[in-house]
Structure 1
Amino acid sequence: MSTSATMKAWVVPEKGGRDILQYQDVPVPTISSTQVLVKNEYGGLNMVDSYFRSGLYPQTYPYITGREGAGKVVAIGSEVTSFAVGDRVAYMVTGAFAEFVAVPAAGAIVKLADSIPTQIAAASMLQVLTALTLVKDSYAVKPGDFVLINAAAGGVGQILCQLVKSLGGHAIGCVSTDAKAKLASAAGAEYVINYIEVPDYVPKIMEITNGKGCQVVYDGVGKSTFNDCLRAVARLGSVITFGNASGPVDPLNLITLSQKNIKLMRPTLFNYLTTPEEFKYWSGIWLDYLKDGKLNIAIYKTYPIAEYVSAAEALETRKSTGKVVLKY
């Protein structure tokens, strides 16, 4: 444990873009009786970081950014019995992009098995949990389902391709380059469409699905893809929109959904994890997948913590494929 009273952290002082991010000295968190203090080793970047920074999602400023990380426990609260100093852990709380972070001992943090590398844990927790809740709850993928995955070469996209294949579905990955097409295919996409080469790709989807469309569409892109999601989904199908990489979806006239009796859902991961019991259930599935080697976690690049702005640019401009990671 450092004896210093301060630490380096990435602070968002006010609503804005990447240019307002500040790497500065802040106090080391003081933990309560029910918290643990984690010394970070790796942090995982996610699009949701930019949604809070920009004001798309409600947020009180200033705050330390970052929502997932992994490292070692260096102090525990007086009431904590489930963790010990020295435990390797992964967690999801706001304030991850700092040297230290205080985490509730229940409902936000897990111990890591020896077989799970710390970097892989930090790179996978939020995205794998997102993908698991999408394919097992938002729409439970069944054998034989045709599933459209937009941004199929991204971090969540590659995981979705793997999960859909493992569940017996037919994954159709939509990407923007030939290089990304190879990544989606390697991750398990049975069909891959480059929407730059085929701007109107819905007829291709209809051809693949014998004119019926997809039972479910998973879309993390938002504004630029939403209308095509409605066109590509089957009658009685589901459109699950879970991200806004191209911006928030425009207002929708609900009568549009009646044309095919479309089910529309906009889930967010943290509403699946509102109790310690829910967190234990979903994080247990995630840990089992990692321990059993059932998922390949693709890391695009690992940046030093001081280069967070460059890392965020790679993610937010959709240059990255796979997970962007910070090393402390």
Structure 2
Amino acid sequence: MTKAIRFHQTGGPEVLRLENVEVGEPGPGQVRVRHTGIAVNFIDIYFRIGRYPTPSLPSGLGSDAVGVVEAVGEGVAYLAPGDRVGYMLGPLGAYSEARVMPAEVLIKLPDGISDRTAATIIMKGLTAQYLFRQVFPLKAGDTILYHAAAGGVGLIACQWAKALGVTMIGTVGSDEKAAVAKAHGCTHVINYNRENFVERVKEITDGKGVPVVFDSVGKDTFMGSLDCLQKKGTLVSNGTTSGPVVMDVTLLAMKGSLWVTRPAMVDYALPRPNLLKMADELFDLVLQGHIRSEPQQVLPLAEAAEAHRLLESRQTIGATILVP
């Protein structure tokens, strides 16, 4: 038996329960992993509240963790007991002490990257990779707008943009978060509670706007994001923390023949060779010192509900992890 967070109905953080569960031995193509760090992501909240459906209830939660391989099933030749691994795809259930996982989604961790660092960069760092290197490939000299620049993905995005030679305009909700984003390489930081971000973007870009906006906030920022774009610009809607977006597509023509995309990680990370290529690029930047990441909030697994409360209240800066 092992401990895991499960929920029997959708709802607020209070539906999360710490329960005993059976783990068992890995079957063909599977690996049993004992977790050392579990990332808390906003997508976990979407599953908890029912915005994204789970296959069934009761359900585990979380899809982003790091740990050590305990046992390997038949047919898995590229992993062995004792290997340090991370993952951000596969079935829900990362909020647990240990679990059995499909081996194809596991990424072997380099020796120079600690478990705590890895727990903050697997999902978040690979999100920055596919946004900046695949969805809208950035190049030196580009200027971008990035919402939630002091969040878990945002702080990695600040550093990645700087490494690429990209001018990043980031939005945040407080002066404290502005200072953190700036310290991580964000070129211009806008506190949207004190400034109109559309006006500031136009001011920073001499009225031209930006070719791309990365918007993980959704409903509250979507229309303003469109107004920040140049003609034929692209809005990458990579999250909806403030609520889902409803749009009349004729606005895209009226505002300058704009493009909008709602990408999903799985479509960019699979098949496995692409996942490993993405991870190699991320790990190289970490090992070279271009990206530094440590958890800013660390809570015991049993306090998963509190971690969700903090994340939903936007009180967190950077990454939050659970420790079994």
TM over 0.5: yes
Q: Under TM normalisation by the shorter chain, which class is it? A: over 0.9
Counterpart in the other structure of 1:131: 128
| Counterpart selection for 2:93 from 92, 95, 107 | 95
Distance 1:39 1:71 in 2: 5
Counterpart in the other structure of 1:55: 50
User: How many residues matched?
Assistant: 320
Does the aligned pair in 2 maintain the 1:302–1:324 contact within 8 Å? yes
Q: Secondary structure at the match of 2:203?
A: helix
Distance 2:262 2:48 in 1: 20
Counterpart in the other structure of 1:252: 247
Distance 1:168 1:227 in 2: 28
Counterpart in the other structure of 2:5: 10
Cα deviation for residue 49 of structure 1 reads 0.5
Q: Name structure 1 gaps, 5 residues minimum.
A: 1-5
Give TM-score scaled by structure 1 length: 0.94
Cα deviation for residue 67 of structure 1 reads 0.9
What amino acid maps onto 1:284 in structure 2?
D
Counterpart in the other structure of 1:3: none
Distance 2:47 2:38 in 1: 17
Question: Do residues 39 (structure 1) and 34 (structure 2) align?
Answer: yes
> What are the Cα deviations for residues 41-92 of structure 1, in whole angstroms up to 9, with x where unaligned?
1100100111122221222222111111111111110221111111111122
Give TM-score scaled by structure 2 length: 0.95
What amino acid maps onto 1:287 in structure 2?
F
What amino acid maps onto 1:103 in structure 2?
M
Question: Do residues 296 (structure 1) and 289 (structure 2) align?
Answer: no
| Counterpart selection for 2:66 from 63, 70, 85 | 70
Cα deviation for residue 298 of structure 1 reads 4.1
Does the aligned pair in 1 maintain the 2:310–2:316 contact within 8 Å? yes
| Counterpart selection for 1:158 from 151, 155, 165 | 155
Does the aligned pair in 1 maintain the 2:120–2:152 contact within 8 Å? no
Identity rate of aligned residues, in percent? 36
Does the aligned pair in 1 maintain the 2:86–2:107 contact within 8 Å? yes
Question: Do residues 182 (structure 1) and 153 (structure 2) align?
Answer: no
Deviating 4+ runs (over 4 angstroms): none
| Counterpart selection for 1:104 from 102, 105, 113 | 102
Q: Secondary structure at the match of 2:283?
A: helix
Cα deviation for residue 146 of structure 1 reads 1.5
Distance 2:200 2:110 in 1: 44
| Counterpart selection for 2:222 from 219, 223, 226 | 226
Does the aligned pair in 2 maintain the 1:212–1:235 contact within 8 Å? no
> What are the Cα deviations for residues 246-298 of structure 1, in whole angstroms up to 9, with x where unaligned?
1111x211110112111111112122123222222212222222222220114
Q: Secondary structure at the match of 1:228?
A: helix
Q: Name structure 2 gaps, 5 residues minimum.
A: none
What amino acid maps onto 2:31 in structure 1?
V
Does the aligned pair in 2 maintain the 1:241–1:266 contact within 8 Å? yes
Counterpart in the other structure of 1:326: 322
Does the aligned pair in 2 maintain the 1:40–1:100 contact within 8 Å? yes
